[in-house]
Amino acid sequence: MRAAGRRRHLSAAQHNLGSVTTEPADTEPEDEDSGVLVSQIVLRKIHEMTTPGVAGSVARAILSIPEDQGKPIPLRVPGDTPGTTYRVLLPDSAQAPAVIYRKLSPHDDHKWLVTALMDRDAYLAYSGGLADSQLVQDVAGTVALGTITASDALSRRSQR
């Protein structure tokens, strides 16, 4: 459906009236038509996958995001505005990690941002009841802050 929309969009852009070419005012670059952005961290993890078929399975899941609405996941992300909702998609390969994404703000050109990949078994256990555990939430919060701090330290070191 999205691809058909893009085809219509391109044919309108290429329509010639004699020597005059008409273009719609809201023309967007071709590579921004997917509506889905992927973070650099996720891309790096996908490219590091060595098991055959797993990276492709994750890629297909990511590209199906607007049509295939995932399940909400209660994820406490430091620095997020209240009400930010994350969703999860499980790729078709049983070895592939869960894809975590969220909606972008209405001002953004894109609709979705893939923010993280999560170990599939861990996600299933988390969504199966461990999300309610205070211990899990506390440890997860500490690990998240540690991840952010470590990343900040690395970026500061690379800037020197």
Binding site for other proteins (CB under 8 A): 31-34, 36-43, 46, 55-56, 58-60, 62-63, 65, 75-80, 86, 100, 102, 110, 113-119, 122-123, 125-126, 130, 133, 135-148, 151, 155
In the complex, the smallest distance separating the C-beta of residue 128 from other proteins, rounded to whole angstroms, is 10
In the complex, the smallest distance separating the C-beta of residue 14 from other proteins, rounded to whole angstroms, is 20
Cβ nearer to other proteins, comparing 12 with 150: 150
In the complex, the smallest distance separating the C-beta of residue 152 from other proteins, rounded to whole angstroms, is 9
> Cα separation of 160 and 156, whole Å?
7
Cβ nearer to other proteins, comparing 11 with 81: 81
What stretches of 3-153 adopt beta strand conformation (E)?
Answer: 16-17, 20-21, 36-38, 71-73, 86-89, 98-103, 112-118
> Cα separation of 120 and 11, whole Å?
42
Q: Could you give the 3-state DSSP secondary structure of residue 114?
A: strand
Give the tokens for residue 7: 């085809």
Please, what is the end-to-end C-alpha distance for the chain in angstroms? Answer: 48
Cβ nearer to other proteins, comparing 23 with 109: 109
Query: CB 27: neighbour CB atoms within 10 A?
Result: 11
Cβ nearer to other proteins, comparing 18 with 52: 52
Q: How many CA atoms lie within 13 A of 144 on its CB side?
A: 14
φ/ψ of 116, rounded to 5, equals -160, 160
In the complex, the smallest distance separating the C-beta of residue 19 from other proteins, rounded to whole angstroms, is 33
- Look up residue 49 and give its amino acid: M
In the complex, the smallest distance separating the C-beta of residue 116 from other proteins, rounded to whole angstroms, is 4
Cβ nearer to other proteins, comparing 21 with 148: 148
